[in-house]
Amino acid sequence: MTYRFSPQSKDDMDAIEKYYINIGNTQTGDHILESILSCVETLCSHPHLGHPEPMLREFPQGFRTFVDVPNYKIVYWLEEDIVKVATIFDCRQRPEKMYEIISWNNTWLCEPQVDKQYKYK
């Protein structure tokens, strides 16, 4: 199995990185991003580790969430043999915001050209 990041999820990870740079704690930001990537790679081997996301149950994708990084949910769905990461949701936000992200725009859709080698820096 492989994975793809949506433009939304890449923006989310860029925002995480920028936040920790701004507060002067780049090591923590790098650790969080590495943990997210590691979790996504784990999902490729065990795609059903996450749980169905009740906030997004009305969408046909069958969104799931995986939480193994403090404060962040990896929101993804499975399509054929691809783990598609829709967004990296900061759990310290209003839970309804996750629904808004998915229902109000389409930046959570995964682009076919985004491949498994997506890295930061």
List the CATH number of the domain containing 54.
Answer: 3.30.2310.20
pLDDT at position 121: 41
Q: Is residue 114 part of a domain?
A: no
Q: Is 69 helix (H, G, I), strand (E, B) or coil?
A: strand
Q: Is residue 64 part of a domain?
A: yes
Q: Which ranges of the chain have pLDDT less than 50?
A: 113-118, 120-121
Q: Is residue 15 part of a domain?
A: yes
Token duo for residue 73? 């949910």
Domain that holds residue 34: 2-104
Q: Is residue 95 part of a domain?
A: yes
CB 88 within 8 A of CB 13: yes
For the stretch 45-78, pLDDT in tens is 999 999 999 999 999 999 999 988 889 999 999 9
Q: Is residue 112 part of a domain?
A: no
CB 40 within 8 A of CB 3: yes
Q: Is residue 118 part of a domain?
A: no
Q: Is residue 117 part of a domain?
A: no
Number of domains in the chain: 1
